[in-house]
Structure 1
Amino acid sequence: MTSYRTTLEACGIAWPELSRPNLPFAPTKRIGDILYVSGQIPEALSDIVFTGKVGAEIDVETALKSAKLCAANVIYWVDQALDGDLDRVIQLAKLTIFINAAPGFAAFSQIGNGASEVMNAVFGERGEHARSAVGMAGLPANVPVEVEAVFHVR
């Protein structure tokens, strides 16, 4: 586990400290050897770190930081679901990045790369994944980015 934390920290992101939100859905749901991770927003502890539309209040650099933090939060919940053993990740299958975009903004892939780079750094070859990065008219709490994932696990 230390190596995963160290690798995440080398990406410039502290290991997340999150608590399960009081919402009518779970952060993760495992069905057989597939682990679904609910959309993660850029939060640390119980604070939302970034808000606003990308291309308006949020610039590309800040959106990239937001995407990286969302990816770290995905990793945190995977770690929780696998009892602290990220070696049980066989493969990140799919990553979806939602970008709260101002009209005319179109660099969705560039923002999505922030989340993808974190996953590739932390999981190596097991982090190579299929991906979608799409623009949205809005996201919960007006966050700039939300990331969800599907993992193959043992």
Structure 2
Amino acid sequence: MSISNRLAELGITLPQAMAPVANYVPVSITGQLVTVSGQLPAMDGKVAVTGKLGAAVSLEEGRHAARLCLINLLAQLQAALPGGLDSITQVVRLGGFIACTPEFTQHAVVMNGASDLAVAVFGDTGRHARSTIGVASLPLDAAVEVEGQFYIG
């Protein structure tokens, strides 16, 4: 089954890939390794989930934010890869940054919003290594940011 069909089954329509907000490229391709810069939980061109986990942002809102970040990663890949998402043969690594209070400890639960979607979209090739880090703040007051590395074949 194609990735487009899986996305459709999941009810996901990829947005247009967002332009970078600073001096960097959204996608870097080196041989068969593709690195996607951190993506924010944006919808309709603006950050949809802002604030900090452990304060105004609930755990479920954080999971939703991580899922939106992965959707935006997929949009960047779709725009950058000549073969689109079907050329991805492995999700290698996801890195999550969670804006949170010092007492917050549920980072992994938040990041599962992105990880669970990666597996739902790519199946076993969506299983990946990952890091999840709590931070004091993120660009545009985003609650979550997710970056990724992918292998294309």
Give the TM-score, by structure 2 length.
0.92
Instruction: Report if the CA contact (8 A) 1:53-1:102 is conserved.
Output: yes
Distance in 1 between residues matched to 2:83 and 2:50, nearest whole Å: 30
**How far is 1:18 from its partner?**
3.2
Indicate whether 1:6 and 2:8 are aligned: yes
| Cα 1:8/1:73, change in 2 over 3 Å | farther
**How far is 1:150 from its partner?**
0.5
Distance in 1 between residues matched to 2:148 and 2:20, nearest whole Å: 18
Distance in 2 between residues matched to 1:19 and 1:143, nearest whole Å: 15
Indicate whether 1:137 and 2:139 are aligned: no
What amino acid does structure 2 have at the position aligned with 1:124?
G
- Structure 2 spans left out of the alignment, 5+ residues: none
Indicate whether 1:97 and 2:103 are aligned: no
**How far is 1:22 from its partner?**
5.2
**What percent of counterpart residues are identical?**
36
| Secondary structure in 1 matching 2:82 | coil
| Secondary structure in 2 matching 1:95 | strand
| Secondary structure in 2 matching 1:106 | coil
What amino acid does structure 2 have at the position aligned with 1:87?
D
**How far is 1:43 from its partner?**
0.7
| Most deviating of 78-87 and 117-126 | 78-87
**How far is 1:45 from its partner?**
2.8
Regions of 4+ moved over 4 Å? none
Alignment of 1:52-71 (within 5 A): 52-71=51-70
Q: Deviations over 1:32-61 (max 9, x none)?
A: 110000000011232111110011010101
Distance in 2 between residues matched to 1:61 and 1:100, nearest whole Å: 14
